[in-house]
């Protein structure tokens, strides 16, 4: 039933004769039912709410000329479903979902191919949650309410001769350097920026984008549809109290933020794998109803499901480790690798199975292809994460299998 609803809504959004399921002839069960999730009552209820929300969002008609109207509608539906504030702390009126809660919600939304839509989740404090009381007072409330927006400045231009650095000058810091890939940077009011602090090593510092010496030298979009800016900092004077966390602890501060984004990407990708499994199952059923049987495609489909099962098991295990307060940096990397690489593999296979129709730009597989491609680089390229997992085990004695 759930599957049929999902596919029905999917048809409304992406009408395509080649992928429309045939009447009520689908008897395979929802792929989720075969996986032992060990969810408690509250988590099952959350899964149901996220699933309902996903269905509603999949039925929305995007009006490209009114992106803000669409975002407001999404935000309102998500607030009604009690999903919006899962990413926000209780002290600011949020529901503060656990890692497992967020994985459940994001996976359910991914299964409707809507997890990427803007406005579903409220801004989370991220690094600002670890800022001084003074800095929180100045920025956090306004940030969480959506009054101001922020970006994350980590990646350096490939030709940078020196990493972005800051030197002390009395009660101020003077920042110089550049960040090349700040998502949402064009509209951001501030960028949480990784700098090398002269005497104490890496540090995160909040830099308002309207400070003298901050400039944007390029605005660009990427394949997945998101927008970014590259920043140059020339003798930017910032109060020392803009440091987030202890000076010298910048990399671990940044890594905490990166970890939660990696989990978000992984859960969405696993949801998308479920969406693609459903789509291909419908395609196969439809072909077989017409008398066209293909063992090769059935084998491909079984492979898609097996890979999805593995990636899905991984993200739930990792989410539970995080919730148990365990060191999970390596497991988060493994989850991100497996989920994104599996989604990339599945979308490629699914396109091949469906054929040319899947390459029509508005086809869900074409849009998933673009978005998933970016996830294998964003928040750490796969090879780099593999290399870090090796280092974790061989040099630092951390990481599980």
Ligand X SMILES: Cc1cc2nc3c(=O)[nH]c(=O)nc-3n(C[C@H](O)[C@H](O)[C@H](O)COP(=O)(O)OP(=O)(O)OC[C@H]3O[C@@H](n4cnc5c(N)ncnc54)[C@H](O)[C@@H]3O)c2cc1C
What is the smallest separation between the CB atom of 182 and ligand X, expressed in angstroms? Answer: 5
What is the smallest separation between the CB atom of 1 and ligand X, expressed in angstroms? Answer: 36
Q: What is the spatial distance between Cα 333 and Cα 322, in angstroms, rounded to a whole number?
A: 13
The residue from 155, 167, 168, 215 that contacts ligand X (CB under 6 A) is 155
| CA 10 from centroid of its chain's CA atoms | 21
Candidate ranges 12-20, 22-30, 161-169, 178-186; the one touching ligand X (CB under 6 A): 178-186
Q: Around Cβ 76, how many Cβ atoms within 10 Å?
A: 12
Candidate ranges 39-47, 61-69, 84-92, 373-381; the one touching ligand X (CB under 6 A): 373-381
- Told to check if 260 binds ligand X by CB under 6 A, we report no
Helices (H), 324-381: 329-354, 364-375
Site string for ligand X, 44-73 (x = CB under 6 A): ------------------------------
Q: What is the spatial distance between Cα 280 and Cα 259, in angstroms, rounded to a whole number?
A: 31
Indicate the DSSP class of residue 161: S
Per residue in 364-392, is it b (16+ CB within 10 Å) or e — as a string? bbebbbebbbbbbebbbebeebeeebeeb
- Told to check if 190 binds ligand X by CB under 6 A, we report no
Nearer to ligand X, 121 or 154 (CB): 154
Candidate ranges 280-288, 292-300, 339-347, 381-389; the one touching ligand X (CB under 6 A): 381-389
- Told to check if 377 binds ligand X by CB under 6 A, we report yes
Q: What is the spatial distance between Cα 373 and Cα 367, in angstroms, rounded to a whole number?
A: 10
What is the smallest separation between the CB atom of 143 and ligand X, expressed in angstroms? Answer: 16
- Told to check if 182 binds ligand X by CB under 6 A, we report yes
Spatial contact of 388 and 333, defined as CB atoms under 8 Å apart: yes
Candidate ranges 34-42, 80-88, 151-159, 357-365; the one touching ligand X (CB under 6 A): 151-159
Residues 199-238 touching ligand X, rule: CB under 6 A, are 222, 224, 226
> What are all long-range contacts of 317-322, with beta carbons under 8 Å and residues at least 24 apart?
318/99, 318/263, 318/266, 319/98, 319/99, 319/100, 319/102, 319/103, 319/263, 319/267, 320/99, 320/100, 321/400, 322/99, 322/263
- Told to check if 250 binds ligand X by CB under 6 A, we report no
Candidate ranges 63-71, 85-93, 335-343, 377-385; the one touching ligand X (CB under 6 A): 377-385
Candidate ranges 91-99, 160-168, 207-215, 371-379; the one touching ligand X (CB under 6 A): 371-379
- Told to check if 384 binds ligand X by CB under 6 A, we report yes
The residue from 16, 374, 398, 400 that contacts ligand X (CB under 6 A) is 374
- Decide: residue 81, CB within 10 A, 0-12 exposed, 13-18 middle, 19+ buried: buried
Nearer to ligand X, 156 or 323 (CB): 156
Q: Around Cβ 18, how many Cβ atoms within 10 Å?
A: 14
Nearer to ligand X, 21 or 392 (CB): 392
| Size of the residue set binding ligand X (CB under 6 A) | 22
What is the smallest separation between the CB atom of 156 and ligand X, expressed in angstroms? Answer: 7
- Decide: residue 306, CB within 10 A, 0-12 exposed, 13-18 middle, 19+ buried: exposed
Which positions lie near ligand X, rule CB under 6 A?
151-155, 158, 179, 181-183, 222, 224, 226, 374, 377-381, 383-384, 387
């Amino acid at each position: 039933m759930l599957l049929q609803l999902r596919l029905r809504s999917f048809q409304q959004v992406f009408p395509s004769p080649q992928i429309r399921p045939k009447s009520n002839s689908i008897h395979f069960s929802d792929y989720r039912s075969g996986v032992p999730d060990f969810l408690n009552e509250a988590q099952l209820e959350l899964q149901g709410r996220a699933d309902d929300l996903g269905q509603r969002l999949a039925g929305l008609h995007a009006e490209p000329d009114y992106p803000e109207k669409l975002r407001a509608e999404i935000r309102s539906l998500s607030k009604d479903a009690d999903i919006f504030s899962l990413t926000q702390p209780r002290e600011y009126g949020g529901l503060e979902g656990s890692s497992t809660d967020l994985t459940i919600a994001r996976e359910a939304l991914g299964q409707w191919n809507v997890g990427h839509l803007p406005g579903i989740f409220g801004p989370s404090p991220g690094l600002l949650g670890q800022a001084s009381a003074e800095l929180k007072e100045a920025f956090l409330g306004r940030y969480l309410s959506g009054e101001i927006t922020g970006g994350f400045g980590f990646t350096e231009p490939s030709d940078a001769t020196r990493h972005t650095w800051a030197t002390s000058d009395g009660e101020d810091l003077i920042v110089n350097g550049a960040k090349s890939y700040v998502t949402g940077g064009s509209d951001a009011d501030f960028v949480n920026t990784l700098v090398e602090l002269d005497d104490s090593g890496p540090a995160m510092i909040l830099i308002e984008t309207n400070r003298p010496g901050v400039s944007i030298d390029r605005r660009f979009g990427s394949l997945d549809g998101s927008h970014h800016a590259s920043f140059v900092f020339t003798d930017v004077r910032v109060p020392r109290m803009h440091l987030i966390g202890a000076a010298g602890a910048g990399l671990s501060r940044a890594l905490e933020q990166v970890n939660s984004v990696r989990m978000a990407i992984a859960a969405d990708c696993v949801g998308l794998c479920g969406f693609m499994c459903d789509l291909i199952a419908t395609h196969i059923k439809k072909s077989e109803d017409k008398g066209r049987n293909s063992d090769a495609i059935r084998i491909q489909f079984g492979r898609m499901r097996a890979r999805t099962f593995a990636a899905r098991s991984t993200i739930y295990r990792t989410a539970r480790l995080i919730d148990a307060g365990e060191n999970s940096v390596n497991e988060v990397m493994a989850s991100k690798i497996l989920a994104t690489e599996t989604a990339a593999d599945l979308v490629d296979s699914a396109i091949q199975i469906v054929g040319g129709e899947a390459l029509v730009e508005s086809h869900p597989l074409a849009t998933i292809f673009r978005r998933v491609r970016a996830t294998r680089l964003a928040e750490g390229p796969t090879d780099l994460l593999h290399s870090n997992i090796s280092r974790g085990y061989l040099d630092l004695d951390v990481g599980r299998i």
